[in-house]
Amino acid sequence: MTPHARHSLLALLILTTPLAACAQQAEAPAPVATVAPAVAQSAAPQLVTGLPDFTQLVEQVGPGVVNVEATVGSRRSTQASEEADIPEIFRRMLPPGFQMPGPGQQGPQRRGTSMGSGFIISADGYVLTNHHVVDGADEVKVTLPDRRELTAKVVGSDQQYDVALLKVEAKGLPTVRIGNSASLKPGQWVVAIGSPLGLDHSVTAGIVSAVGRSASAEQRYVPFIQTDVAINQGNSGGPLLNTRGEVVGINSQIFSVSGGYMGISFAIPIDLAMGAVEQLKATGRVSRGQLGVQVGAVTSDAVKGFGLPDNRGALVNDVVAGSPAAKAGIGPGDVVRSVNGRAINDSSDLPPIIGAMAPGTKVTLSVLRDGKPRDISVTLSELDEGETMARSAPLAPDTPAAPVGRNALGIQSQALDADSRKQLGLESGDGVLVSRVESAAAREAGLSPGMVILQVGRNKVNSPAALDRELAGAKPGDTVMLLVRSRGVTRFLAVTVEKG
């Protein structure tokens, strides 16, 4: 386009604009009368008013918050290996500069310092912090807000709850008020005070994002408080406070892919921690109740396969031999719906409730079995942290596999001998080995050669013939629940019978 043409286009736009405006004005339609709604709606109530001012809270609570410094010597190589296995996505709030050893490396051989936070719970010198702040420490020092530095004794520590109780020799110390974490609700304001990255008495605020959160497999007995309060390395062991200045949690973990704050933080409920404190004072350790079950989620497939009314509860996948659950007759396929009337909505709800009870406590479990409710009385034993289900690699099927007719799920199987059952921790006559999977649906469900099928639904199988009998009535479109064991884990797989 020539310069002259460009100027002409500009002039045309300038000339036509007033004409267009006049035309619009001349042709503008008459105003239309608005019609009032038939029913006038009342104004919605104000649900949120203003932002809180935390200055008085910090002034009142701050004197009871302390810095905790733990001097750590050479660690055990086994511990170093365990730390190397912790996923970065759930890193502990370790102090700046701390490097976790890589796979196969030994733990640090030189002395180092672990920095964290804590708070004073009694005027005579009891201080609460995280277990991982003082774990393996040779010396622990507590620095008060008035800059006094006191040597602390570790009265007791518990890895599962990640709680440690310290004692300093002093009197008349400022204390914090202990609140009630059970009353916390998502959306409530909360405040954290601690020493992130070594910056003592830093204050951050946010809201409760969720309660009863299962944040890590290592701490399945802790129903974490999830918040969006900015928490970083060094905040470990510091208090999480409600707007009344009461401690409702102990800041413990962050969800991160970089080691820094990303908007998701976790705190240990103070109700749980204070229950541990009484035991730590008395015995230096924490004991927990145990059922002796391995549980999983009630999936939509499990609802169909077991004929359940909904997906609430904890599906029992495995039972420890000789445990309270085994003695009470609880078995794989049972669904625990409540404990002493307290609802179990998700499988992660069960361990914290049972773990918080004392060994020897008698509880009533509401259970669904074959879709029918029943109450079962169980007396809890003490949890043995070292007790686990049988652990083993999958067995290799014989080659060639014993010829077996095709069943509804397209599974070929073979009998287990006594040595194989012993290796898997099975009772005599339990289980059948999967040698071949021909059904695409079974493969998609996760079934593979080398797995052991223990049950079809709630019925045990101990031979290829028994497996085929249990599957004989399965029709196309049916969902069949198979209890399988592989690599030491026992769980139910839902397999849909293929059509034609």
Residue 384 annotated among the catalytic residues of the structure? no
DSSP 8-state class, residue 71 = E
Q: How far apart are the first and last CA of the chain?
A: 70
Of 114, 117, 131, 132, the catalytic one is 132
Q: How far apart are CA 144 and CA 146, in angstroms?
A: 5
Overall residue count recorded for the chain in this entry: 500
Q: How far apart are CA 347 and CA 351, in angstroms?
A: 8
Pair 348, 379: CB distance under 8 Å: no
| Amino acid at the residue 409 | L
Q: How far apart are CA 232 and CA 239, in angstroms?
A: 13
CA dihedral 67, 72, 76, 81 (to 10 degrees): 50
Sole residue written with tokens 């099975």 = 426
Pair 309, 372: CB distance under 8 Å: no
Grouping H, G, I as helix, E, B as strand and the rest as coil, residue 81 is helix
What does each C-alpha distance from 428 to 198, 415, 423 come to in angstroms? 59, 12, 12
Contacts of 455 (CB under 8 A, 6+ apart): 332, 333, 461, 481, 482, 483
Of 202, 236, 256, 366, the catalytic one is 236
DSSP 8-state class, residue 459 = E
- How many CB atoms neighbour CB 8 within 10 A? 12
Token representation of residue 333: 């396929």
Grouping H, G, I as helix, E, B as strand and the rest as coil, residue 352 is helix
Helix (H) / strand (E) containing 414: strand 411-414
What does each C-alpha distance from 229 to 15, 67, 133, 393 come to in angstroms? 60, 19, 20, 43
Pair 201, 239: CB distance under 8 Å: no
Q: How far apart are CA 176 and CA 17, in angstroms?
A: 72
Pair 54, 87: CB distance under 8 Å: no
Of 135, 158, 162, 271, the catalytic one is 162
Pair 389, 295: CB distance under 8 Å: no
Residue 132 annotated among the catalytic residues of the structure? yes
Q: Which class for 386: exposed (0-12), middle (13-18), buried (19 or more C-beta within 10 A)?
A: exposed
Q: Following DSSP, what letter does each residue of 90-129 receive, concatenated?
A: G-B-PPTT--PPPTTPPPP-S-EEEEEEEEE-STTSEEEE
Token representation of residue 498: 């293929």
Residues taking part in catalysis: 132, 162, 236
